[in-house]
Structure 1
Amino acid sequence: MEPDRHGPHVLVADPSYGQGIDPAEAETAPVDVAVEGRPWRPVVPTPCTPGELAFIDGAQQIEAWLTVTPDGRPEAPLPAAAFAIAAGAVLAGPSGPARVAGLRSRRLVLTVGDRRLELPPGGGFAWEARCGAPGEAAGIARRVGEMRQQLELAVAEEIAAPDRLVVLDGRLSFIRDAGGPVVGAIKSHHRMYLPPEQARVVVALGVGQRTPLFAIGDDRLSWYQRLPGVGTAGWAGILRGEVARSAGVAEAVRLADRAACELPRFAGRPHRDARAPQNLSPIAALEAILRRRMGERRLALRAVRRAALRARLDDVPAGVGVAEADPLAA
């Protein structure tokens, strides 16, 4: 059935990946829509010569939640988690097959506070012991995300080159000075950055077009662009890009134009990926590789249960309770 062209356009997304735009979640940083100095209407980017792109992403899985009972302190249990993180890159040029590079993975056990929990290796699994997670409810999960980002940063620094455009899945909040141009590609829109007049330009974009640049706070320059595969109505196929403001407006314009020219050919396919087209096909392929590299969660949980029987807390035997991992927390 053809949609009613005069009715609302409804973008349907997989609920596993969070809700769409939340009008209650406003951006707190000031937004400047005049940084590029051009009228606010769809921009047809300056054509560019195709070059090599490096798509970077990371993955994480919490494999077990732990409750550690210190010797002699049963009233003061320590929360902890056993988890795996991984990161890597897909290099794609204008000719020849894409290739995977820079794969890294780690498996750790992280405790709240200042005491480290040591799990003996076994079953093909080994854990690095770390401590210092914040004590609030989301502290461990946030620290796991930070450690995954640090691994992505290490890959980005290894892969970056002056003649290679690095496309990072997500925001650039943890990227400092890489050795080449870096663009963040944000596929989920949890907040509205633009005032109503400029937001109308987003829904007017055609495939391969972008909005003018706008600044978010003092550290980012951003734009919206549309990818092919799901039509050109509403917010379908809209990707947000961003670069570090320290690059300068001229360089940001060049990178935004290059992203608008080149990323459409890497758009995900809806019949293969619930997050397509914004989840770019090299990123989707990399995610599958990283999940395999981290290993089977069920086997990791079994290994944690066995290792917990011989766990030590700062060289003192510790009682450890192991709970099933919440798949939504991974």
Structure 2
Amino acid sequence: MLENNHVNNFWRSHNFRLEPWGNDYEPQIQINEELALSESEVNPTVETDNWDSFESQEPPLLPNRLIFTDGRLRLDAALIGGEGNTITYGVFGTIAVGAVVIDRTIPKASYLDPEIDIHRVIGFGGEQEAVSTAIPCPFGSKSKLFYKAFNDKFDNTPAARGAIVQTAMLKAEEKLVGKLDIKDAETLVIRDGSLRYESPVLTLGYVKTMHRQYLPEKYAPFLWKLLPGQRTPIFEIKLKNRYQYSWYLKSGSYQHFNKQLGYHDLHGIVRLELSIKNGIDRATEIANQTCYLIPYYASHPSKDPRAPQNLAPVGALERELGRRMGDATLIKRRLQNFLASVGGNK
């Protein structure tokens, strides 16, 4: 009872309310992972210094077990308010992280349950501390909405909302990947997105957007020449205080050339990342494996508008995560009812 009183007193004293335009009119939340790497340095010659004569090699062996991981986020409600005359920006958010496991020896794909995790978070910009809050259920409902306080520090701006939920999702993904059993060479993890945290060695970062050019001008034209299933040589990227390997690859199939679909020549180009701890020989082996694996699991244009960059197992996982996150309209309505019920001091 004392805990409930503390939560209710928080909401009454701070007078936080929903910002009506917060979800519908702000740009889609997508913190660009590649633009954030502005301090990076590139060494394009770790595998070869002769890019002109480079050819992708057939992999001698392929891993028998693949694990695709991904996360989804949603801003359930944008908050604005504060104590006294201060203005503080906050957010109720939902995040979901999970994995799809593919046994290539059967073959069989399945969600890694119970490792599909749904989290709801509440956070604020500036110095405002959030309190974990349980949103009451409507009459006759057994569903629970519990928003856990996420009190990392963010600037007190509207952009803090997206940063709060994004950071919470990345931490949940890091925790998920840390649980995975990937000690043997027969397992390869493909994480949808850049390796933003310290990942296990056999984890690939899969970046399907091109918002930053990592290659020096001398090597950049090589991207235009790639055919489906071909890659660039491995290059090395310095990211703040760590190094990692990376390479570009052309995804898709020969049956769906860009010119036939009216797409740009760089359509289908993805970038992969791998820990430098693998060493260049092991990294080369894995890079060659991706020349087969990435096009094989690429989505089809008739089923996914993000094809071929969006991998089919990841697309299926995204849909399952979205289903488990709950109905956005109903959840926002419950948040509105809750805030109306706690009143305010003004």
Q: Same fold (TM over 0.5)?
A: yes
> Is the contact made by 1:64 and 1:81 (CA closer than 8 Å) also made in structure 2?
yes
Closer/same/farther in 2, CA of residues 97 and 144 from structure 1, 3 Å limit: same
1:244 shift after superposition: 1.7
Q: Which residue of 1 aligns with 2:191?
A: 168
Closer/same/farther in 2, CA of residues 28 and 120 from structure 1, 3 Å limit: closer
Distance 1:108 1:25 in 2: 24
1:98 shift after superposition: 0.6
> Is the contact made by 1:69 and 1:318 (CA closer than 8 Å) also made in structure 2?
no
1:310 shift after superposition: 4.8
Closer/same/farther in 2, CA of residues 16 and 134 from structure 1, 3 Å limit: closer
Closer/same/farther in 2, CA of residues 155 and 319 from structure 1, 3 Å limit: farther
Closer/same/farther in 2, CA of residues 17 and 78 from structure 1, 3 Å limit: closer
Q: Which residue of 1 aligns with 2:95?
A: 85
Moved more, 39-48 or 248-257: 39-48
1:246-284 CA-partner distances (Å, limit 9, x unpaired): 332222212211112212110011111111101100011
Q: Which residue of 2 aligns with 1:130?
A: 150
Closer/same/farther in 2, CA of residues 127 and 310 from structure 1, 3 Å limit: farther
CA RMSD of superposed structures (Å): 2.7
Q: Which residue of 1 aligns with 2:271?
A: 240
1:97-134 CA-partner distances (Å, limit 9, x unpaired): 21001201101211232432453322332221333441
1:131-152 CA-partner distances (Å, limit 9, x unpaired): 3441342223212111101111
Consecutive unaligned residues in structure 2, runs of 5 or more: 1-26, 138-142, 260-264
Distance 1:295 1:40 in 2: 49
> Is the contact made by 2:91 and 2:161 (CA closer than 8 Å) also made in structure 1?
yes
Distance 2:36 2:129 in 1: 37
Identity %: 26
Distance 2:285 2:229 in 1: 15
1:222 to 246, 251, 258: 246
1:14-33 CA-partner distances (Å, limit 9, x unpaired): x9798x9x9x9995422111
1:34 to 32, 41, 45: 45
1:148 to 135, 159, 169: 169
1:89 shift after superposition: 0.5
Closer/same/farther in 2, CA of residues 25 and 165 from structure 1, 3 Å limit: closer
Closer/same/farther in 2, CA of residues 200 and 27 from structure 1, 3 Å limit: farther
Distance 2:96 2:319 in 1: 11
TM-score norm. by structure 2 comes to 0.77
Q: Which residue of 2 aligns with 1:96?
A: 107
* Larger RCO (CA under 8 A, 6+ residues apart): 1
Closer/same/farther in 2, CA of residues 181 and 45 from structure 1, 3 Å limit: same
Distance 2:87 2:70 in 1: 35
Give the counterpart letter for 2:93 in structure 1. F
TM-score norm. by structure 1 comes to 0.81
1:43 to 55, 61, 64: 55
Q: In structure 1, the residue corresponding to 2:118 is in which secondary structure?
A: strand
Q: In structure 1, the residue corresponding to 2:59 is in which secondary structure?
A: coil
1:30-72 CA-partner distances (Å, limit 9, x unpaired): 21111113521453233243321100000000010112333xx
1:62 to 69, 75, 84: 75
